[in-house]
Amino acid sequence: MTADAALVRRCLAGDPAACRELVGRFTPDVFAVCRRLLADAHDAEDVTQEVFLRVFRSLGRWDDSRPLRPWVVGIAVNRCRTWVGRRARRPELADYLHETPDRRPADDSAELRAGIRDAVDALRAEYREVFVLFHEHGHGYDEIAAAVGRPVGTVKTWLHRARLELLNALRARGLVPEESAEVPPSGGDRP
Amino acid sequence: MTRPTPTDDPLPPACRATADRLNRVLDGEWEAASLDADRHPAGCAACRERVAAARLVLSVLAQPEPVAAPPGLTDRIVSAVRADRRAQARRRVLAFAGGLAAAAAVALAAWLGRPADAPQPRAPDVAAGVPPAVAPEPRAVPVRIGEGLSKFGQALRDTPIGIADASAAPRVLATLTDALTRRLDPAEEPTGTTLADLPDAARAGLEPVTGTAQKAFARLLRDVGGVSPKPKS
Ligand SMILES: [Zn+2]
């Protein structure tokens, strides 16, 4: 039995220590994903809690031959999608989002970071989700495929198109320096 | 490597190899230095800009912004999860107990309402020329009870704490025995034993059952409630 499966079994048996261990293990991941996809700390906190209620309600249906993290992250991505959909019907909240302090760039690198983030946010939902999971949260293709419930090939196609759209958007926003040769190459490894 | 079909590829064919190379670098398969080996961007302004943009993205993503969960969030979530589990367990136990009480009451009412002076099961015959006082609806009754009970059985099996759980079992038994002993008490006035008077707890217990089963039970209660109970002297 995997460590994940053993932990889940203890949770299902009602072991409070196991429940705390599971929440403690995944809260940083889930909160980070929610924080990024929702762009609001309060919403992220609410949705993170909602995610864990879902996780424990459906824990009995988790396939114990699969890793737990992508399953939990998948629930987080789903809840964020639902939340964003609800929020889109309340325009006053969307306006408020653009005034959160961390949207205001402090210097050039922050401006660049904010520019990239805005361009990522402008991608269609599934492109944005796979981009964020891969590039900002270090999930591999297999994990993302499990999280969004699509084949690896589909996830790759989405991510490749997402990148191309992003690069074109950065060009259109004038964020790309004129003389590309002067930009020092930085490590090509994923974070 | 996934490659869009020519019809939905937003790139000119000449730029495709450069885009694939960018994706391999962004996938982490190839070093960023491999971008320098590509000759195409030298003659293509769009690809030159794409390569520059990719380098920017790589440099920014190489230093991810740390996101820390707020202090105390884990504790709040653990409390919320426990409260939620308790509430769920309570609902399931109520559904089970309410369902069984309802089924027991139905069976009892049917038993009380059976014609005392008609020992033959075929007694209400159409040959008598008198239309039957009760619609043929109750014939479907056993099936519905079975349906309802199977739902309660499922709710029971789904209960995470298990119905055999030491804390839950006495409550379930108490609820059931209460309902049964109250109804079977020979001292009680039998005329009050119609299902229209079904205890609220039993009705509330039906709440989590799906609409169909709930409707079936509502009809059942109405139908059987319409049968006038006869005291078994
Ligand atoms: Zn080109």
pLDDT in tens, B53-102: 999 999 888 877 778 899 999 999 999 999 998 888 888 888 878 888 88
Sign of CA pseudo-dihedral B12, A176, B63, A77: negative
Q: Domain with A13 in it: what CATH number?
A: 1.10.1740.10
A188 contacts on B by Cβ (under 8 Å): 25-26, 28, 30-34, 58
Give the alpha-carbon dihedral of B118, B124, B127, B133, to 10 degrees. Answer: 130
The residue among A147 and B202 whose pLDDT is bigger is A147
Name the residue range of residue A141's domain.
Answer: 107-191
Q: How confident is the model at residue A112 (pLDDT cuts 50, 70, 90)?
A: confident
Distance from CA of B86 to the nearest CA of A (A): 11
Q: What is the largest CA-CA distance in chain B?
A: 106
Q: Are B66 and B141 in contact (CB under 8 A)?
A: no
Q: Which of residues 174-233 of B touch A (CB under 8 A)?
A: none
* Cα–Cα dist B135/B132, whole Å: 7
pLDDT at A79 over 60: yes
Among A45, A56, A157, beta carbon nearest to B81: A56
Measuring CA to CA, how many Å separate A155 from each of A63, A87, A132? 21, 26, 12
Domain boundary among A90, A118, A138: A90
* pLDDT for the residue B113: 72
Distance CA B53, CA A170 (A): 7
Among the listed ranges A109-113, B76-80, B179-183, which one has the minimum average pLDDT value?
B179-183
In this structure, the answer to whether residues A85 and A111 fall within a common structural domain is no
Same-domain check for residues A191 and A117: yes
Q: How far A92 CA sits from the closest chain B CA (Å)? A: 25
State residue B128's pLDDT score. 45
Where a domain ends, among A57, A90, A123?
A90
Residue A13 lies in a domain: yes
Q: What is the pLDDT of residue B63?
A: 79
User: pLDDT value at position B9?
Assistant: 61
Angstrom distance (rounded) from CA B155 to CA B91: 9
The residue out of A56, A90, A124 marking a domain boundary is: A90
In a domain, A37, yes or no: yes
- The per-residue pLDDT of chain A, averaged, comes to 85
Number of domains in chain A: 2
